Copies of this chain bind each other. A is one copy, B any other.
Amino acid sequence: MIANAPRRQPLYVQIKQFLIRRVAEGEWLEHDPLPSEWDLAAEMSVSQGTVRKALSELVVDGLLYRQQGKGTFVAPVISDWGNGLLQSPGVFDEVPSRLSCEFLAISRMNASDDMAVALQLRRHAPMFRVRQLWRGQGRPVALDEAYLPAERFDGLEARWFRSGSGVYATLQQRFSVRVLRCQEQYRAVMLPRDDAGLLGLSGAALEEPVLSLLRLSFSAVGERVEWRQRYCLSSDLALLRQDGRCRHRAW
């Protein structure tokens, strides 16, 4: 394909990186078809089987999807909500309720120590803070604070979010950064009083525990791009997650 010299990486990995870069740079947009396996193979002077292996892994990674007989397409950017579903506790087969996301405000601040370590920034590095409110059937269910490194995402503007685009969609669109993978921490806490109002809590409801979610987001090339804190009302709701293994339908 490209590097015939001391080849450190297998061909199909080089192809993956090549395709990741082209998707990130916007050569193909969401739901656009990629060239066929044979065209890509000819273009890169490798066999169709090698292209196939690269494409298959990019499907598992969440960058592409394929449809037999039709083609290979760029997958949509993941939602700011993430892969977890909001459901009634104890019920596993419920259709999750639709959530809407309302942009609140953007501000500047400095990274906390944990934030700086997780994002591999220096102490007190400048950050953007993007606040969003999630509603289900009109009622507030979660409050998000997404923190982005200000130097990495220089020039970020609030109006990009007012149009309803989420953080991940904006990073893809404006900075060619695609979030593919996250680490999340879950905790049960009491909601800080300052945030209670935004979630519509007052009086006795302040005594209600909330689910605290901490998220570290990685781009398609492994860069750490976002730290997010979410407070999620969960007495009468539960966050559903699938085990990571066994994503293929095996039989």
- Counted per complex, copies of this chain come to 2
Q: Check A250–B186 contact: CB distance below 8 A.
A: no
A212 to chain B, nearest CB (A): 8
Residues in chain A within 8 A of chain B (CB atoms): 9, 13, 16-17, 57, 60-62, 82-84, 87, 89-93, 112, 114-115, 117-118, 180-190, 209-212, 214, 216, 222, 232, 234-235, 237-248, 250-251
Q: Check B185–A245 contact: CB distance below 8 A.
A: no
Main secondary structure of the interface of A (DSSP, over half): mixed
A50 to chain B, nearest CB (A): 14
Q: Check A250–B57 contact: CB distance below 8 A.
A: yes
Given A188-B235, A209-B209, A238-B187, check contact A247 B246 (CB 8 Å).
no
Pick from B117, B182, B246: contact of A181, CB under 8 Å: B246
Pick from B82, B91, B209, B245: contact of A61, CB under 8 Å: B245
Q: Check B245–A60 contact: CB distance below 8 A.
A: yes
Q: Check B188–A209 contact: CB distance below 8 A.
A: yes
Q: Check A209–B185 contact: CB distance below 8 A.
A: no
* 17 A-B residue pairs with CB within 8 Å: A9-B251, A57-B248, A60-B246, A61-B250, A90-B112, A91-B117, A92-B118, A92-B183, A180-B245, A180-B246, A184-B241, A184-B243, A187-B239, A188-B189, A188-B209, A188-B210, A244-B244
Contacts of A90 in B (CB 8 A): 112, 114-115, 118, 185, 214
- A213's nearest neighbour on chain B, judged by CB, is B186
Query: Which 9 pairs across A and B sit closest by C-beta, in order of nearness?
Result: A209-B209, A90-B114, A188-B188, A185-B238, A188-B209, A244-B244, A62-B245, A182-B243, A188-B211
How far is B90's CA from A118's CA once the two chains are assembled, in angstroms? Answer: 8
Q: Check A186–B186 contact: CB distance below 8 A.
A: yes
A239 to chain B, nearest CB (A): 5
Contacts of A180 in B (CB 8 A): 245-246
How far is B232's CA from A186's CA once the two chains are assembled, in angstroms? Answer: 10
